[in-house]
Amino acid sequence: MIKVIRDKCVGCELCIKSCAYDAIVMKDGIAEIDLEKCTLCGACVTDCSFDAIIIKKSEQQNLNKDQHNGVWIFAEQRNKEIAPVVFELLGKGRELAEQKKTELVAVLFGYKISNLTNDLIAYGADKVIFVDDPVLEHFLDLPYSRTLSELAKKYKPEIILSGASVAGRSFIPRVAIELQTGLTADCTGLEIDKESSGLLQTRPAFGGNIMATIVTPNHRPQMSTVRHKVMDSLQKDDSRKGEVIKEKIDFSNLNDASKYLGFIKDETQTVNLTEADFVISGGRGLKNKENFVLIKELAETIDAAIGASRAAVDAGWIAYSHQVGQTGKTIKPKVYIAIGISGAIQHLAGMQSADYIIVINKDTDAPIFRIADLGLVGDLFEIIPLLKKKFLKGSAK
């Protein structure tokens, strides 16, 4: 609870300047806090020179951190195929587990998925805990959150990591609430603090303008969701050995009003954007939806995936599933070609890990040129036909 002590408030408005969420206004010369906007960050409390704002927090139960051990990776699968982000998390999890001198555990849900356990061990897991149940055949929030919550209460892991996928973003927050712990979403970096031995969770904040490092000092497990293509997987080692544990969850009293009806695949993408080695993206410089076909035609000549800036998506030129950036997809192709994209920091956050970046833009001051390996300054409507001709000539050879 946050409260303004009216007798101490002098109406200096320092608290208004310190609030990043526009949650404070002055009313009759006294600060008033909008509780729907307030995040209890405490900035106003720190900046108030008159001790006129206080935050009261409920007392935390004493936590024995020594009871929590192990790094857990939620091994998401769909149609009995493990999501690529899982292998990346196992690579980072292996690093974290070795620093903590603890075990790396993959947690797998589904139906008739026991054959997937070997792959998880081959990619770095010391142990696989899996629940094989018809209820878990298709992703639904409630059964998934109950399963992970009950397993975490039983085994008490220190760290739980999940991909920031549709499933991860949907049910992992429920698990965090059930376990009464924190959750850092969309992390781009994970490290172990040498002093506290806690997990340093780095993510973009304030629209990608800063990188925030978040810690969970008073609760366990420490939980994070991580974007695809920001971490590296290990090489598969089929000779690795590990322990496989099968668990059973009681779903008899699960009152779930939702029902799985089916999965409709996005047919607008001929090449998977997040897995593609070559990606060609278009932005506002294309001027209109009709011109975006130039990107599609160019991509077809080299079987590249089609990406887009947020501006192009917001304008309705292409579906959201093609958006690259902080609010879209994070990708790591071998070659990324950005055409007519100025390079807002939100877009750069989604593609700057590409091995080789080619930029086509008539604005020599476009921010995206700063991270380009090769920059072409000129009219994209003249350059694209030349590139297409060159690509077609190369494919003929």
pLDDT tens string 174-187: 999 999 999 999 89
Do 92 and 233 fall within a single domain?
yes
Q: What is the distance between the alpha carbons of residues 279 and 266, in angstroms, rounded to a whole number?
A: 17
Question: In degrees rounded to 5, what are phi and psi of residue 162?
Answer: -140, 155
Same domain, 33 and 173: no
Number of folded domains that form the chain: 3
If asked whether residues 234 and 210 sit together in one domain, one would say yes
How high is the pLDDT of residue 32? 93
Is 183:173 a contact under the CB 8 Å cutoff? yes
Residue 180 resides in a domain? yes
Q: Is residue 90 located within the same domain as residue 220?
A: yes
Residue 312 belongs to a domain: yes
Question: Would 259 be classed as within a structural domain?
Answer: no
**pLDDT tens-digit series, residues 191-218:** 999 888 999 999 877 666 678 899 998 8
* φ and ψ at residue 274, rounded to 5 degrees: -75, -20
Clarify whether residues 115 and 178 are in a common domain: yes
Considering the domain boundaries, does residue 60 fall inside one?
no
- Tell me, what CATH number does 119's domain have? 3.40.50.620
Residue 330 banded pLDDT, cuts 50, 70, 90: confident
pLDDT (0 to 100) of residue 85: 92
Q: Taking every pair of C-alpha atoms in the chain, what is the biggest distance, in angstroms?
A: 82
Quick check: 359 pLDDT over 50?
Answer: yes
Q: Enter the tokens of residue 55.
A: 């935050």
- pTM: predicted TM-score of the whole model, two decimal places: 0.72
pLDDT at 142 over 80: yes
Domain shared by 122 and 46, yes or no: no
Q: Are residues 147 and 242 in the same domain?
A: yes
pLDDT at 60: 53
Q: Residue 39 belongs to what domain range?
A: 2-55
Q: Is 134 within a domain? A: yes
Confidence at residue 267, expressed as pLDDT on a 0 to 100 scale: 64
CATH number at residue 24: 3.30.70.20
Same-domain status, 98 and 202 = yes
User: Does residue 265 sit within a domain?
Assistant: no
**Domain of residue 339, CATH code:** 3.40.50.1220
268 lies in some domain: no
| Predicted local distance difference test score (pLDDT) of residue 188 | 86
Asked, for residue 100, whether it belongs to a domain, the answer is yes
